[in-house]
Structure 1
Amino acid sequence: MKTYLVKQKFRMGGERFTINNDLGMVEYRVEGSFMKIPKTFTVFDVEGREVSHITKKPVTLLPRFTVQLKDGKSFDIHKKLTLFRDRYEIDDLGLRIEGNIWDLDFKLLDDRDQLVAEISKQVFTLTSTYEVTVYEEEYADLVISLCLAIDYVEMTENSS
């Protein structure tokens, strides 16, 4: 089990920031594109190897991202049009989501109903901060990438 702290540090320009574990040590480095269409984010591990590449689709009615993981797997995240509450759908993930994905307070479960990860937004912080607990380490890169994509959409919608 590993716990990470993801602090919202996105700006409308280029982004570079780190994601730390619960001991304060850097686990991931994130680099976002600047003035590039489509908007992209690349996540690196502490050794500088690419972990995932996140691409925002440029021409869509609602936000949509493709996440390409280093192992060749990929999945899409897209916002659903709903009347009352923002909702996301994740295609080709192989995991089930329970909870409130928009508020980043949810759990990921595998096909055997085993808890894989939990993501929860911390309250009473100046910037959006998420505690990400990954119970199955093989899913760490996927969960961090998922959290970043949704967090970016939240930031852009809150600033507009």
Structure 2
Amino acid sequence: MRSFEIKQKLWSLAGKFDIKDETGQLAYHVQGSFLKFLKEFTISDSQGQFVSHIKHHFSFPFQRFTVTFAHGKQITIQQRFSLLKAKYDISDFGLEVAGDIWNMNFSLLDQGREVASIHQEWFKIASTYHVDIYDDSLADLVISLVIAIDYVKAIESSSSSASS
């Protein structure tokens, strides 16, 4: 099992931050694009090796992202219509999302078996997430998914506050 803490820097315009493991050591580095209309993120490991690239695509009226991994696998996160709150489909992911994805309190299941849990820590100035991964081989996939979902939440928050 591996545990990670994702703590975003509140004032980082580009979306640049580090992800630490359970020992407090650097595990991943996230670099967001700066001043791009459709934001992109590149995730690298502690040695600077490419892990994944997250790209926001123009898709009216719903948000769509692709996550491309170093080994070539690609997943798509697509917003779908819902009257109450945002719902998302994750294609070619191979895992089931169970729980409250919008409030970042969910688990990832592989054939009914929990392989990761994600929880947002509330009452912090910056977004802070705790990620426990029970299958180490899924670490890159899970970390990339959490970064993509967090960005989707940020877009949704800014669009709902702009319309108020």
1:7 is matched with 7
Alpha-carbon separation, structure 2, partners of 1:110 and 1:60: 31
Deviations 1:72-94 (A, max 9, x none): 11100122221112211101101
Task: Specify the code of the residue in structure 2 equivalent to 1:105.
Answer: N
Deviations 1:42-69 (A, max 9, x none): 0000000000010000243121110011
1:98 is matched with 98
| Pairing 1:110-149 to 2, within 5 Å after superposition | 110-111=110-111, 113-149=112-148
Structure 2 residues not aligned, in runs of 5+ = 160-164
Alpha-carbon separation, structure 2, partners of 1:9 and 1:77: 24
Deviations 1:8-57 (A, max 9, x none): 33768422210111222110001111123532100000000000010000
8 Å contact 1:15–1:31 — kept in the other structure? yes
The range that moved more, 5-14 or 83-92, is 5-14
Alpha-carbon separation, structure 1, partners of 2:136 and 2:57: 28
2:89 is matched with 89
The range that moved more, 49-58 or 37-46, is 37-46
8 Å contact 1:104–1:119 — kept in the other structure? yes
- Is residue 32 of structure 1 aligned with residue 35 of structure 2? no
DSSP-derived class of the 2:102 partner: coil
2:54 is matched with 54
1:155 positional shift: 1.7
Alpha-carbon separation, structure 2, partners of 1:60 and 1:139: 31
Task: Specify the code of the residue in structure 2 equivalent to 1:142.
Answer: L
2:162 is matched with none
Alpha-carbon separation, structure 1, partners of 2:109 and 2:114: 5
Alpha-carbon separation, structure 2, partners of 1:61 and 1:109: 29
Alpha-carbon separation, structure 1, partners of 2:51 and 2:60: 26
Q: TM (normalized to structure 1)?
A: 0.91
- Is residue 159 of structure 1 aligned with residue 158 of structure 2? yes
- Is residue 41 of structure 1 aligned with residue 41 of structure 2? yes
Alpha-carbon separation, structure 2, partners of 1:33 and 1:64: 17
